[in-house]
Chain A
Amino acid sequence: MADLNSQIGKLNFKNPVITASGTFGYGIEYADFIDLSGLGGIVVKGTTLHPREGNDYPRMVETPSGMLNAVGLQNKGVDYFISDIYPNIKDMDTNVMVNVSGSTVEDYLACTEKINDLEKIPAIELNISCPNVKQGGMAFGTSSKSAAEVVKAVRKVYHKTLIVKLSPNVTDITEIARTVEAEGADAVSLINTLLGMAIDAEKRKPVLSTLTGGLSGPCVKPVALRMVYQTYKAIKIPIIGMGGISNQEDAIEFLLAGATAVQIGTYNFIDPTVSVKIVDGINEYLDRHGFQSVKELVGGLIS
């Protein structure tokens, strides 16, 4: 049995497999299917300072090997999270992280400060890449200037592990990655969903109420893998890779491309047990190839 421990910032993960925000609820929804303590971590649903109703239905459409969503950060707000959710998840034997979203720097800051007070939340994932909200979200992650502004502000008040989730909807993701690294982020996670669209030819109308949405699932994997690889060459802080991972081979490809850990997103919908299967699969791979530690795989492409 190889050593699966992975390090992101100041935080140790028992293994490099984390479930992605928005695809895993608060973890408890999956407790009937898997032992949550088998996971390296859980990133809970995107949380904002104020409650958000999200976008109108239809919010989702299936696409070849994936799906488009336009949920729009529906959540009951950080205060509800603290009073009603946190008590039920704080004693999970895994790293529970909160995905913090917002429309203004002030919102990000206020939400972060509230999460900062929660002893059992060792990290936040700063979401500057949601494509489905009109103001903010992705707007922060698509320019270096605004990305720098929000990360700098949050870094000042947040001293635990700060992960910044990057948008793939940019010309050069490495530029944004370098910027958030310079502003003190401990790690970056990538990619958030790719902006896409679906049209109903019979009705001659867009399918989603918001016209466009975020594409996820196995169809985005090659794009995500390429971006992780490019970012690995450009920065020194750890990368959490994600985008279409559906089995251990996919996860290992991301590690080889330079990710220190991976997140499993959309495929949780297809197989609620996939995350723990991937943990076992990585372990098996390491043993089969004679590696002592998963750290040996990170960026381990043979040239």
Chain B
Amino acid sequence: MKKYISDWTVKENVCTHSCCLLKLRLDEEEQTIFPDFIPGQFVQVLVENSPSTFLRRPISVHFADKSKRELWLLIQAIGEGTRKLSELKPGEKLNLIYPLGRGFTVPKKNENIDLQINSDKKLLLIGGGVGVAPLFYLACCLLKSGYRPDFLFGARSKDHFFNIQAFEKIGKLYLTTEDGTCGEKGFVTQHSILKSTKYDFVYTCGPKPMMQAVAKYARQNDIPCEVSLENTMACGIGVCLCCVEKTKKGNSCVCTEGPVFNINQLLWQI
């Protein structure tokens, strides 16, 4: 997939106490093609005017709309770089390298021999914290293909969910919190829906311990499962070999071989 580097214009930056939804537009005068982003792919964002931020920040695609030339990023301000991004104002420019990485598998409607999924089978998207970011675009693409996925999101407490209203419009939403302030108390893998419903495919993104617990559940129940990793990256294009994860093929770059992996590719001890 051809990669591009260009400036995008901040159209809107909607911040809540927990995160910012950054809506970017690729100007027509940029003359660059708006690529067909695959859910799970990411962009490398250049953070300017932040002396302590040297490297670009890899941020996953929250939503992309080719007709409007819009790209949405969901950003949790955890460090200096992401804090700078959360402060961007409409009209400001942001330099991106895109689209990067391998995304989630979106089954084509009624042609799902390989994945053994069809539209009456059930898909579950499990997210933890800001890990829900790529799952929104994934859900939109699944919906386009004729699948209405369920969502299972976990957070520390009720104030730590990100943009969940948007997911509610697409499919059924199940929640867990560690303190029991919202949904069922506990971790996502303890939610009752996993016992009452047999899912056919699980996609997950969130903290690594959570994804490993989800992978374990999927393996025990013989459910195909894709996880999106976020190992620390420098280049994002497969040249520095810093973001490696151990796979059956050896050390694989998360930025080019992933960030999405089928759990069968990984050497996780689960």
User: Which residues of A are interface residues toward B (Cβ below 8 A)?
Assistant: 22-25, 29-30, 32-33, 45, 53-54, 57-67, 69, 71, 74, 217-218, 266, 268-273
Does A269 lie within 8 Å of B238, measured CB to CB? no
A181–B235 Cα distance when bound, in Å, is 34
Does B4 lie within 8 Å of A32, measured CB to CB? yes
Q: Which residues of B contact A59 (CB under 8 A)?
A: 241-242, 244
B19 within 8 A of A: no
Q: Which residues of A contact B234 (CB under 8 A)?
A: 60, 62, 67, 69, 266, 269
Does B54 lie within 8 Å of A54, measured CB to CB? no
Question: Assuming the A-B contacts A54-B251, A67-B54, are A60 and B240 also in contact, with contact meaning beta carbons closer than 8 angstroms in the complex?
Answer: yes
Q: Which residues of B contact A62 (CB under 8 A)?
A: 53-55, 234
Interface of B is mostly: loop
Q: Which residue of B lies closest to A75 (CB)?
A: B241
User: Which range contains the number of B residues in contact with the other chain?
Assistant: 20 to 34
Does B232 lie within 8 Å of A61, measured CB to CB? yes
* Total contacts A-B at CB 8 Å: 89
Q: Which residue of B lies closest to A66 (CB)?
A: B54
* Known A23-B240, A59-B244; further 16 A-B contacts with Cβ < 8 A: A22-B241, A24-B239, A25-B237, A25-B239, A29-B238, A57-B244, A57-B245, A60-B242, A62-B53, A67-B54, A71-B242, A74-B244, A74-B251, A268-B239, A269-B240, A270-B55
Count chain A CB atoms within 10 A of each CB in B4, B241, B250 and give the residue with the most. B241
Produce 1/0 per residue, B215-249, CB < 8 A to A.
00000000000000001111111111111111000
CB distance from B140 to the nearest CB of A (A): 26
Does B245 lie within 8 Å of A67, measured CB to CB? no
Question: Assuming the A-B contacts A32-B4, A57-B244, A272-B97, are A64 and B54 also in contact, with contact meaning beta carbons closer than 8 angstroms in the complex?
Answer: yes
Does B46 lie within 8 Å of A270, measured CB to CB? yes
CB distance from B211 to the nearest CB of A (A): 15
Does A67 lie within 8 Å of B55, measured CB to CB? yes
Does A217 lie within 8 Å of B243, measured CB to CB? no
Q: Which among B3, B52, B240 is the interface contact of A64 at CB below 8 angstroms?
A: B52
B5 within 8 A of A: yes
B17 within 8 A of A: no
A217–B234 Cα distance when bound, in Å, is 12
B148 within 8 A of A: no
Does A54 lie within 8 Å of B239, measured CB to CB? no
A164–B46 Cα distance when bound, in Å, is 34
Does A33 lie within 8 Å of B5, measured CB to CB? yes
Q: Which residues of A contact B2 (CB under 8 A)?
A: 32
Produce 1/0 per residue, B1-30, CB < 8 A to A.
011110000000000000000000000000
Question: Assuming the A-B contacts A32-B4, A58-B232, A74-B251, are A63 and B54 also in contact, with contact meaning beta carbons closer than 8 angstroms in the complex?
Answer: yes
CB distance from B239 to the nearest CB of A (A): 4
Q: Which residues of B contact A266 (CB under 8 A)?
A: 234
Offer 13 A-B interface pairs, CB within 8 angstroms, sorted by A. Answer: A22-B240, A22-B241, A23-B239, A57-B243, A59-B244, A60-B232, A62-B54, A62-B55, A65-B54, A66-B54, A270-B55, A270-B56, A273-B5
CB distance from A272 to the nearest CB of B (A): 6
Q: Which residues of A contact B241 (CB under 8 A)?
A: 22, 54, 59, 71, 74
